[in-house]
Amino acid sequence: MITASVCTIGDEILIGQIVDTNSSHIARALGETGVRVTAMTSIPDDGDRIVADLDAALRSSDVVVATGGLGPTKDDITKPALARLWGREGWYEHAGQKARVISILHSRGLDVLDVNLQQAMVPEGCDVIENKLGTAPVMVFRFDAARYGHPATLYSLPGVPYEALGAIPDLIADIRAHYPLSDIRHKTLMVYGLAESALAKKIEAWEDALPPQLHLAYLPNQLTGVRLRLSAYGMEEAAAESLIEAQIRALRPLLGSYLYSEQDDTLQATIGRLLRGTGKTLCAAESATGGMISHLITSVSGSSEYYKGSITSYAAEIKEKLLGVEDEVIKTKGIVSKEVASQMAEGARKLLGCTYAVATTGWADKTGDEFEPAGTVWVAVSGPEGTRAARFQYKNGRERNIERFAASALNELRLYLENERQLADKEVTKQKSLIC
């Protein structure tokens, strides 16, 4: 198997100024291509260290992907260090990247300075993948087998996260073109409402019976649930796809309505797909989630087609005045209750004139009250076929609880949209299975 090291360069990482997210994105893309990442390191802005550490990485890996250290001020250190490691004296100007540098600066209304044009200068004999999003090019150094005992390639990517992310497809294409990678096929299923361990138990027998060419990975995330990735290694495309499809057919009934998407997806994007083009509209009424549900829904590009807006009724008086929650209900059932959540959803739906409304009321970090303990949220979804409510309880800190409340609400909305009937049956059991 082809192996890789990922190296990030920059003092700002070693002093803890920034969290390195590039390594994770690069490692995931390499893994999905069939390249095994065996090491990740962060290196300070120090020429000797850059040369020594990349040299060691190239000795032990087929591919080394370095990011960072290429900003206009740091260029003095990193690029000469790469040239020193590469072992050739000369430099050349890359015409394509030079044109990009000029066009990028012009589009930002900035003058083109010498220091900017320097970014298009690269060591002799290195290949360039043009950076469409920034001024620093991706440099590719292909070392022959004489140097490290095996052919080794060093890729130098920009450190700015969105530029690094943008360069990943070209990086992967270049690796594919130069290394004999065994074919890998992936299929991703998105699951919400089961903790990773409960999910593993639920599909244990199915997983144990997987054919050896298939590998299953669990990738949990607080806001999107568990991403289940099934991969086929070293098979012909058609055979891999039919093998995967046969297994997915057996898996679907086990997952039931916990399965919300068969592509790499979020709950809010799934909700968008369910609503787009239907003419139906959505709104929200938030208390404990404080705006997060609305923020997640509107993070989907094109959400203005179906999303009209929301009321954050943080104060009880706003719940009463705008959403029509009854004071009597708050007093007798509690502000965190099925009844208040339901009245919030119904009130928002009426006030904002939407087909559907989702509402939350909960205790994110307070001590709770005589009706409900801290960590409890009531979620309600209201629509043409009535109002459904569900209760969830979590035991995290304030910020994580708010995220979980919001994700639970989006999932209830997704379930309502998918199948109102199914929801009613599961209301009671769900309350128990999700306490974690």
Q: Amino acid identity, residue 331?
A: K
Closer Cβ to a copy of itself, 129 or 406, answer by number: 406
Contact flag: residue 293 with a copy of itself (CB under 8 A): yes
Min dist. Cβ of residue 172 to a copy of itself (A) = 13
SS3 of 289, please? coil
Closer Cβ to a copy of itself, 17 or 429, answer by number: 17
Place of tokens 């502000």: 335
Min dist. Cβ of residue 355 to a copy of itself (A) = 13
Contact flag: residue 182 with a copy of itself (CB under 8 A): no
Burial 288-318 (b: 16+ CB within 10 A, else e): bbbebbbebbeebeebeebbebbbbbeeeee
287 neighbors 319 (Cβ within 8 angstroms): yes
Residue 218 gets which letter from DSSP?
E
Residue 113 CB coordination number (10 Å): 10
Contact flag: residue 24 with a copy of itself (CB under 8 A): yes
Min dist. Cβ of residue 256 to a copy of itself (A) = 25
**Binding-residue pattern over the window 381 to 410 for a copy of itself, x denoting contact by CB under 8 A:** --------------xxxxxx-x--------
Place of tokens 């409340």: 405
Contact flag: residue 214 with a copy of itself (CB under 8 A): no
Closer Cβ to a copy of itself, 400 or 426, answer by number: 400
Residues in region 361-380 near a copy of itself by CB under 8 A: 365
First to last CA, the chain: 39
Closer Cβ to a copy of itself, 144 or 301, answer by number: 301
Contact flag: residue 61 with a copy of itself (CB under 8 A): no
Enter the tokens of residue 16.
């803890």
Residue 371 gets which letter from DSSP?
S
Q: Amino acid identity, residue 157?
A: L
Min dist. Cβ of residue 227 to a copy of itself (A) = 9
Selection from 259, 292, 132, 242 nearest residue 188 by Cα: 259
Residue 374 gets which letter from DSSP?
T
Closer Cβ to a copy of itself, 353 or 386, answer by number: 353
Q: Which stretch binds a copy of itself (CB under 8 A): 61-69, 152-160, 204-212, 304-312?
A: 304-312
Torsion angles phi and psi, residue 30, rounded to 5: -65, -45
User: Alpha-carbon distance 147 to 154, whole Å?
Assistant: 13
Contact flag: residue 138 with a copy of itself (CB under 8 A): no
**Binding-residue pattern over the window 215 to 244 for a copy of itself, x denoting contact by CB under 8 A:** --x-x-------------------------
Contact flag: residue 314 with a copy of itself (CB under 8 A): yes
Helix (H) / strand (E) containing 314: none
Contact flag: residue 39 with a copy of itself (CB under 8 A): yes
Give contact residues for a copy of itself (rule: CB under 8 A).
13-21, 23-31, 37-44, 108, 162, 217, 219, 284, 286, 289-299, 301, 303-304, 307-315, 317-318, 322, 351-353, 365, 395-400, 402
